[in-house]
Amino acid sequence: MARPDNWLSMGRWLRLAALFGAAAVLAVPSFEAAAGADLPKLERGKGERCVEDTATMRRHHMDFLKHQRDDTLRRGIRTTKHSLKGCVECHASEKTGSVASTKDDFCMACHTYAAVKVDCWACHATKPPAKPAQAALPAGPAASPMMSAPSAGAAK
Amino acid sequence: MSESKQEHLTGSEQPESAGRRAFLGTSAAVAGASLVPGVILYSAAQGRAPGEPASSAVRWGMLIDTAKCGDGCSDCVTACHDENGVAHKTGPQDPQWIRKVDIRNLQTGARHSLPMLCQHCEHPPCVDVCPTGASMKRADGIVLVDRHICIGCRYCMMACPYKARSLVHEPLTDQNPEVPRGMGCVESCTFCVQRVDRNETPACVEACNAQGHNAMLFGNLNDPESEIARTVKTYATTEVRADLNLNTGVRYQGI
Amino acid sequence: MNIAFREIEGRSAGFWLFFAALGLLALIGVSSALYMEHHGHIVTGMDNQIVWGMPHVFAVFLIVAASGALNVASIGTVFGKTPYKPLNRLSGLLAIALLAGGLMVLVLDLGRADRLIVAMTYYNFKSIFAWNVILYNGFFAIVIAYLWTMMDRAGGAWYQAVGLFAFVWRLVLTTGTGAIFGFLVAREAYDAALYAPMFIVFSFNYGLAVFLLVLMGFYKWTDRPLGDMVVLRLKNLLGVFIAASFYFVFVYHITNLYFTKHHGLEAFILTSGGIHTALFWVGQMLLGYALPLAILYSNLGNSRAWIALASALAIVGGLAQMYVTIIGGQAWPIELFPGYAVSSSFYDGVVHSYSPSGVEILLGIGGVAVALLLTTFAVKVLRFLPERLDDETVAALHGAK
């Protein structure tokens, strides 16, 4: 069966072209400015640091998310490090409480700038749950209630 | 895409995205970030660790005892739809992940009331017909829709003998963060996969037990020691539409 | 003897009016789809019981008709009937145009039409639907190649081979379309191997009906000569195909009537199904089969106007047939517990009703408009239509290679 990978799409090429176009326009007046200098202003996430170092996150967050998405859905892997719920937990705006409700919210700022459109928020919550989501915090399995007929069979 | 740019990329990077990400700075010290971080294989007796994939050593199943299922009780339905953020509406266009079905034997007049949900077949017709592979069965037997690649063609809804699937017909807001759902995709009971993966039972089962009905039993059919495996071994149980040979994960007792 | 093909003039006010009307209908169709896409399927009459609705009635009709439209070319190429050869370009063109219109409707009806690229890149090879995606794409490619062998001297050498391949491909394609329904074990109305051959015969019928109408329409409006030799041959063939369709429908229902377990479904479609029963008897049987057969095989069948009417009726009957098959098949409830009466909040055990909304009908009509628009545009810019199809010209082809 095909591996899901709908991000490697035509749309990406189009947006790539759009970004190059935009970059060309923007680059002319501030040619000497280092790449990235005119990034949109971003609210800083909660905590000390991101789940990977910042530069890696900037460039590779979509890959982490895609990988995590397939791991979680198809294989049932529930690690929290690259979980989308985790991003929302730390990056929800102080002002709006959301990662994507306004153009300045964390997951919107760069995307608006780079003309990236993601459909995630049609389904995924943009705000952390009122009570901390269980899955967003690395909870040990022992902390959970039992099911009616659990068994060691699960652990291979 | 120029050669020089590619040198900055890790193996997993797709070359065509490099250009678009260029404005983010090329200083990225791409230090082979591990994609599956610190996989700790808990050797806990119960369930599996978050980093461990679902395994075919487990087959999740449910046994529903219609004798214990309360006529007129729909706590399982309420609990399911609360847990998964499904609006409690029953119009023809509203999704229902689980429903109470009342049946009456045409010969004997015997009546039963039972919950009907995705039967988590071993050979699910929905998975067979899905053009993109969005309909899928996890290693532990849970049948899901990968809504990241579902195109909303609804062929699976045509194919499901249990009418277990619904299309989301309108835009949704305020979804449960743990249960993303959205317009245009098909969805169905997931056995509350978000709960099962943290070693809890599905919400319907919990609600049924909370009422003291204990009509729904959830567990690992592959584990001979589990209560469900022992029960299906001892008592006669029924698959709905057994004639289709789908080997359902949900079985019924008392009909 | 060579046939001269020429573009149609297409400069008259009437032409542009026709063109603009089609364009408008196509635009309305696409706008309806955008509206659906924005608000969701809540604005349609489709729901969780009737999951495929009016768009599918139109789309499946167009797709089935597309493969059938290619038949005229196949008769010329594969079966070596020279009088059909001048028609082969139009046949190929219609096949492509009808398929494009049908696929447009099918795609725009998707819950996530924006993910079309996913459908094109992820294949589950167990799915008939996935195979159909490949078959449809392949059909475009092959028929375009086929047209090239007809229209370009360089391709001429390949004409026979490509024509044969296209013929085989179209049979497989229609089998695939029929199998979409035939493999659905869940639903009583569908689970039948007969669907594949039945859809092939339907395709002959619908495709030829469309072909005849379009052919006669273009020749009349452009004042080009079109002889009886061509028209009468085609109308006789149409009669055979209609009769064959009737035969398959007859066998389908007789088979169902034989098995007790299907009696409920049969009683529903044939006697108590309201709109479905009406469409079956009046739409499909009377308008689609009986009247056109009566016209085609009586003296009326020598008149162009009556032949056109018979073709139009065959198309109406085809749409009715698709409605009864697609909607009727879903309206009949799935049998969850044989031997039990069933009821629930999810409409188990009851006949489902369906009232299509304007947007889905407009989308379907938009697909038809796109097919005709493409055809009209193509015959204006490229040489698809022979200048003359009068009897002498066609007769001269007899025996000629």
List, for residues B19-33, the tens digit of each pLDDT value.
Answer: 555 555 443 333 333
Chain C contact partners (≥3 CB pairs within 8 A): A, B
Which residue range(s) make up the domain with B67? 6-253
* pLDDT of A39 strictly over 70: no
What is the H or E stretch that residue A73 is in? helix A54-75
Note the pLDDT of residue B22. 52
Could you tell me if B81 and B97 are in contact, meaning their C-beta atoms sit under 8 angstroms apart?
Answer: yes
CA dihedral C125, C127, C130, C134 (to 10 degrees): 60
Mean pLDDT of C87-94: 96
Q: Does B1 touch chain C (CB under 8 A)?
A: no
Could you tell me if B237 and B61 are in contact, meaning their C-beta atoms sit under 8 angstroms apart?
Answer: no
* Domain CATH for B221: 3.30.70.20
The minimum CA-CA distance between B177 and chain C, rounded to whole Å, is: 21
The minimum CA-CA distance between C149 and chain A, rounded to whole Å, is: 32
Q: Does A10 touch chain C (CB under 8 A)?
A: yes
Could you tell me if B68 and B252 are in contact, meaning their C-beta atoms sit under 8 angstroms apart?
Answer: no
| Contacts with C134 from chain A: Cβ below 8 Å | none
| Interchain proximity A81–B37, CB inside 8 Å | yes
Q: How many CB atoms lie within 10 A of CB B45?
A: 12
| Interchain proximity B130–C127, CB inside 8 Å | yes
Q: What percent of chain B has pLDDT over 90?
A: 76
Residue type, B210: A
Identify which of C122, C128, C352 has the shortest CB distance to residue B129. C128
- Whether B58 is in a domain gets the answer yes
| Sheet hosting strand B98-105, strand order edge to edge | B111-117, B98-105, C340-344
Q: Does C341 touch chain B (CB under 8 A)?
A: yes
* pLDDT of B15 strictly over 80: no
Q: What are the helix (H) ranges across C288-327?
A: 291-296, 304-323
* pLDDT of B188 strictly over 50: yes
**Spatial distance between the Cα atoms of C91 and C208, rounded to a whole number of angstroms:** 9
What is the H or E stretch that residue B109 is in? none
Mean pLDDT of B29-42: 34
Mean pLDDT of A106-117: 92
């998707």: which residue's tokens? C110
**Spatial distance between the Cα atoms of C76 and C160, rounded to a whole number of angstroms:** 10
| Contacts with B64 from chain C: Cβ below 8 Å | none
Q: Which of B32-46, C111-125, C325-339 has the lowest mean pLDDT?
A: B32-46
Q: In which region does residue A121 sit, left (phi positive, over 0), alpha (psi from -120 to 50) or beta (all else)?
A: alpha
- Report the domain count for chain C: 1
Note the pLDDT tens digit of each residue in C294-305: 999 999 999 999
Mean pLDDT of B32-45: 33
| Interchain proximity A36–B23, CB inside 8 Å | yes
What is the H or E stretch that residue B44 is in? none
Could you tell me if B253 and B63 are in contact, meaning their C-beta atoms sit under 8 angstroms apart?
Answer: yes
Identify which of C113, C127, C133 has the shortest CB distance to residue B129. C127
Mean pLDDT of A58-71: 95
Mean pLDDT of C106-120: 95
Q: Which of B163, B172, B240, B245 to mutate to test the interface with C (most CBs of C within 10 A)?
A: B163
**Spatial distance between the Cα atoms of C11 and C398, rounded to a whole number of angstroms:** 34
Mean pLDDT estimate for chain B: 85
Q: Which two tokens stand for residue B122?
A: 């071993």
**A&B contacts, CB < 8 Å:** 238
Identify which of C49, C124, C186 has the shortest CB distance to residue B131. C124
Could you tell me if A127 and B196 are in contact, meaning their C-beta atoms sit under 8 angstroms apart?
Answer: no
Burial of A86-116, coded b for 16+ CB within 10 Å and e otherwise, reads bbbbbbbbeebebbbbeeebbbbbbbebbeb
Identify which of C117, C123, C124 has the shortest CB distance to residue A10. C117
| Interchain proximity B25–A76, CB inside 8 Å | no
Chain B contact partners (≥3 CB pairs within 8 A): A, C
The Cα-based distances of B232 to B119, B120, B213, B238 in angstroms read: 16, 16, 19, 9
The minimum CA-CA distance between A125 and chain B, rounded to whole Å, is: 5
**Spatial distance between the Cα atoms of C223 and B93, rounded to a whole number of angstroms:** 52
The pTM score is 0.88
Q: Which of C218, C217, C207 lies closest to C139 in space, CA to CA?
A: C207
CA dihedral B163, B168, B172, B175 (to 10 degrees): 40
| Interchain proximity A6–C124, CB inside 8 Å | no
Q: Does A12 touch chain C (CB under 8 A)?
A: no
Which residue range(s) make up the domain with C211? 5-398
Q: Does A4 touch chain C (CB under 8 A)?
A: yes
- Whether B1 is in a domain gets the answer no
Note the pLDDT of residue C399. 60
pLDDT band for C81, please (50, 70, 90 cuts): confident
Q: Which two tokens stand for residue C292?
A: 């056109």
Note the pLDDT tens digit of each residue in C54-78: 999 999 999 999 999 999 999 999 9
The minimum CA-CA distance between A99 and chain B, rounded to whole Å, is: 13
Note the pLDDT of residue B20. 56
């149409």: which residue's tokens? C238
Note the pLDDT of residue C226. 94
* pLDDT of B2 strictly over 60: no
**Spatial distance between the Cα atoms of C301 and C239, rounded to a whole number of angstroms:** 10
* pLDDT of A7 strictly over 50: no
| Contacts with A11 from chain C: Cβ below 8 Å | 117
Note the pLDDT tens digit of each residue in C304-355: 999 999 999 999 999 999 999 999 999 999 999 999 999 999 999 999 999 9
Identify which of C112, C183, C334 has the shortest CB distance to residue B163. C334
* Domain CATH for C180: 1.20.1630.10
| Interchain proximity B161–C336, CB inside 8 Å | yes
Q: Which of B242, A16, A7 lies closest to C339 in space, CA to CA?
A: B242
**Spatial distance between the Cα atoms of C364 and C356, rounded to a whole number of angstroms:** 11
- Report the domain count for chain B: 1
